[in-house]
């Protein structure tokens, strides 16, 4: 996770990331920054954006059932 600490007039931003995330970065390194995702999910990175509206939504009950089955050692 990163935190924006300064927004400059030219549109650039100064961002601080955790030491774990930055451990292999050098000063001046170029890194990718993902844009804020759109509400409809279309601007999200693969596979999320590509699969938007293609798969049914995962409900809390589905997650609970999968966890329960995993704890019991059941598989399909």
The one-digit pLDDT tens for each residue of the chain (76 residues) are 778 898 888 888 888 888 888 888 888 888 877 766 666 555 555 555 555 666 677 788 888 888 888 888 865 5
CB 3 within 8 Å of CB 15: yes
pLDDT of residue 55: 67
Question: How many Cα atoms sit within 13 Å of 58 on the Cβ side?
Answer: 8
How is residue 1 written in tokens?
A: 């996770």
Domain segments of the chain: what residues?
A: 37-76
The pLDDT of residue 74 is: 66
Q: Is the overall model pTM greater than 0.85, yes or no?
A: no
């Amino acid at each position: 996770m990163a935190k924006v600490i300064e927004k400059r007039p030219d549109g650039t931003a100064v961002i601080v990331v955790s030491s774990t995330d930055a451990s292999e970065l050098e000063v001046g390194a170029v890194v990718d920054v993902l844009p804020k995702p759109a509400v409809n999910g279309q601007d999200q990175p693969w596979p999320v954006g590509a699969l938007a509206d293609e798969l049914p939504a995962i409900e809390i009950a589905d997650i609970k059932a999968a966890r329960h089955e995993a704890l019991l050692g059941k598989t399909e």
